[in-house]
Amino acid sequence: MEAVLKQSPQASDETHLADRFRSGEQAAFEEVMTRHRRTVYAVARRLLRNHEDADEAAQVAFVKAWKGRERFLGNARLKTWLVRIAMNVAKSMLAARRETRELVDEPGPADLSIDPGARLDGLRLRQELRLAVGTLPPRQQEVVMLKVYEDLTYREVAEILELSDGAVKAHLHQAVSNLRRGMRSKKAERRERA
């Protein structure tokens, strides 16, 4: 009873929405899509690397969620459940195309107050980092994508990937170590060529 009293209004609203969704209420499904479509699309986009495929994956993910709504037990948040479905759809699409995964780093709007040379250096660094992330083992790529690019909590990443919080932290730590090592070797290669 105490847990119910301590539950935040947002958590209560999410629980109520999940119950309505699970019962098959169309309005609840539309609200779920409205709340989570950006995150579902963004995850698919990072894995699939283009708008059309990501849009298709997001649509398929929502259809799968609707058809499988009775299987949503409520032990995870709707958002993490939907992201897991989207990742599985995107992975299936990648497997069908037999392409290797490479994460996308979408550039933000250009800051015109920054020196063009510095902006170019920043773009190069982001490109190198994106390529380096693409060389990580698949689980490390997924953790980096969800934790860093999508800014999810350790708990959310753990729920999506069906790992413990500690395993997520370990994968992220190893990914950062691998990225540092890779970026240092790239920097050394550039110095040798210069």
Residue-wise pLDDT tens digits, 75-125: 778 999 999 999 999 988 887 775 443 444 455 555 555 666 666 666 777
The structural domain count of the chain equals 2
CA atoms within 13 A on the CB side of 38: 3
Indicate the residue among 101, 126, 143 that finishes a domain. Answer: 101
17 with 86, same domain: the answer is yes
Write out the two tokens for 172.
């992220």
What is the spatial distance between Cα 64 and Cα 60, in angstroms, rounded to a whole number?
6
131 with 95, same domain: the answer is no
Is 77 part of a structural domain of the chain? yes
Mean pLDDT of all residues in the chain? 82
90 with 125, same domain: the answer is no
What is the spatial distance between Cα 165 and Cα 157, in angstroms, rounded to a whole number?
8
91 with 148, same domain: the answer is no
Is 90 part of a structural domain of the chain? yes
Q: Picking from 9-13, 66-70, 84-88, 112-116, which range would have the lowest pLDDT averaged per residue?
A: 112-116
Q: What is the pLDDT of residue 119?
A: 63
Cα–chain center distance at 6: 29
120 with 97, same domain: the answer is no
Q: Provide the angle, in degrees to the nearest 10, between the axes of the packed helices 9-22 and 78-97.
A: 60
Range of the domain at 53: 10-101
DSSP-based three-state secondary structure for 194 = coil
Looking at the whole model, is its pTM more than 0.75?
A: no
Is 3 part of a structural domain of the chain? no
Is 106 part of a structural domain of the chain? no
DSSP-based three-state secondary structure for 136 = coil
